[in-house]
Homo-oligomer: A and B are copies of this chain.
Amino acid sequence: MHTASIISIGDEILRGRIVDTNFAYLAKELFLLGLNVIYHSTVPDKEEWVCAAFGDAVQRAEIAISTGGLGPTPDDATRKGLCRFLNREMKFDARIAQNIRKFFEHRGIEMSENNLAQAYIPEGAVPMDNPEGTAPGIFLRTDDNKMIFLLPGPPREMKAVFHSVRTIIEKELQLVPPKIKIFRTIGVPESLMEEWISALVFPDDVSISYYPSLRGVDIFISAKQDDSLNNAQSQIKNILEKYIFAEDDEELLLEQVIGKILRERNETVSTAESCTGGMLSSRIVDIPGSSDYFIGGVVSYANEAKTKILGVWDKDIEEFGAVSQKVARQMAVGVCEKFGATYGISITGIAGPTGGIPQKPVGLVYIGFAAPDETLIRRYTFTGGREAVRTRSATAALNILWVHLKYGDVKNYSFQDGGEWV
């Protein structure tokens, strides 16, 4: 297996001013290319540190990729540090200079001559186009034939240049990238999923990775051989099929999948939220074009808002409490009628940290789902802090809607979300 190392360059990272998301991005992408990332370092914007970091990186791995420090100011020490390590001179690259001039012209901004500092690159280096900025990426080989790539620090630029890196690595290493299958799942905790999958037997060249979040778990299956991948993916799909909302597209959100179905069917949804306070509607509206199927929502945080706007009965709030099956039902039905939507979803719960009592602990959440032919209520007791309870609630609500849209028969779907119908 080929090895790679990553270098993050920047004082602002070492001072904790920014979280280094570039590294996580590159680590995952290189892993998916079939490389073994064995080392990562973060060093200041100082020539001697950068020089040492390249030394460490290529000593340990065949490929070194750095991000940051490619700007035009004296603070940006990456090119100089690399030249020092390689013991090579900088040379002026006329094509880069021309691209930089064009970049500014195109945007109608006057260029400072400083910017041309970015046109100097180490001898033997090849620039890689950066469609998002003025700092080109740089690729070269060391005298002992290791590969070094320099990428700009701003994440959008880094990602844009990484496309070239991927192409070069594949070509130079004559890499056959592993075959990858991605399943995005909703509603099954990672631990349960791992338990299910650990009972399966796969060909030796298969490896499985889980990328969990509060919004679901992504599964990456990789294999050297097509046959192996097919074997593994069909076994896993066999177990998990009903929880998979997207395949192969790791950017596709559950909210988008739901939106697509609603749009096709010309159906609409509305939301009534208490403890989530608009988090569910905000996630739905995150999706461009959601105005086609999302009419609106009510955040009925105070009881008064529940009764006045949604028509929840005062006496039910008094008798059963705002966090109850009855109130969740009236909220869902109320918002559905109010907005004239096909579906109404309600969330009422105790997000904490206070407000819990023994019969109604922190984490207790009722989710109501009003469809044209029935209204169903599900009860959960979520763990975690206020933020986690709220995020899990919004996710569970989307899960119910998705199951209804996709499978129709919500009541007989084998939910693994920890909730129960009440």
Instruction: Name the one of B44, B290, B351 contacting A38, with C-beta atoms under 8 angstroms.
Output: B44
B279 touches A275 (CB 8 A): no
Q: State in angstroms the CA–CA spacing of A284 and B27 once bound together.
A: 36
Interface residues of A in 212-231 (CB under 8 A from B): none
Q: State in angstroms the CA–CA spacing of A20 and B37 once bound together.
A: 15
| B residues less than 8 Å from A285 (CB atoms) | 275-279, 299, 301, 390
Residue A43, interface by CB 8 Å: yes
Number of copies: 2
Residue A314, interface by CB 8 Å: no
0 or 1 for each of A37-70: is its CB under 8 Å from B? (1 = yes): 1111111100001000000100000000000000
Given contacts A282-B278, A309-B309, contact A41 B39 (CB under 8 A): yes
Q: State in angstroms the CA–CA spacing of A33 and B248 once bound together.
A: 46
Given contacts A302-B291, A305-B339, contact A281 B277 (CB under 8 A): yes
CB distance from A114 to the nearest CB of B (A): 17
Residue A295, interface by CB 8 Å: yes
Q: State in angstroms the CA–CA spacing of A27 and B301 once bound together.
A: 39
Interface residues of A in 176-220 (CB under 8 A from B): 209-211
B41 touches A16 (CB 8 A): no
| B residues less than 8 Å from A16 (CB atoms) | 23-29, 31
Taking CB as reference atom, which chain B residue is nearest A15?
A: B31
CB distance from A359 to the nearest CB of B (A): 19
CB distance from A11 to the nearest CB of B (A): 9
New A-B pairs, 12, CB < 8 Å, besides A8-B40, A13-B40: A14-B39, A15-B28, A17-B209, A281-B301, A282-B282, A285-B301, A289-B354, A295-B302, A296-B299, A296-B302, A296-B304, A302-B339
The 6 A-B pairs with the shortest beta carbon distances in the complex, nearest first, are: A277-B285, A278-B278, A16-B28, A296-B305, A16-B27, A278-B281
Q: State in angstroms the CA–CA spacing of A56 and B56 once bound together.
A: 9
| B residues less than 8 Å from A28 (CB atoms) | 15-17
A278 touches B275 (CB 8 A): no
Q: State in angstroms the CA–CA spacing of A305 and B356 once bound together.
A: 34
Residue A124, interface by CB 8 Å: no
Task: Sample 26 A-B pairs with CB under 8 A, ordered by A number.
Answer: A8-B40, A15-B28, A16-B23, A16-B28, A17-B211, A18-B24, A19-B20, A271-B278, A271-B299, A277-B286, A278-B278, A278-B282, A278-B285, A278-B299, A281-B299, A281-B301, A282-B282, A288-B353, A288-B354, A294-B301, A295-B301, A295-B305, A296-B299, A296-B304, A298-B309, A304-B340
Residue A129, interface by CB 8 Å: no
Residue A338, interface by CB 8 Å: yes
Q: State in angstroms the CA–CA spacing of A339 and B301 once bound together.
A: 11
Residue A300, interface by CB 8 Å: yes
Instruction: Name the one of B42, B299, B351 contacting A297, with C-beta atoms under 8 angstroms.
Output: B299
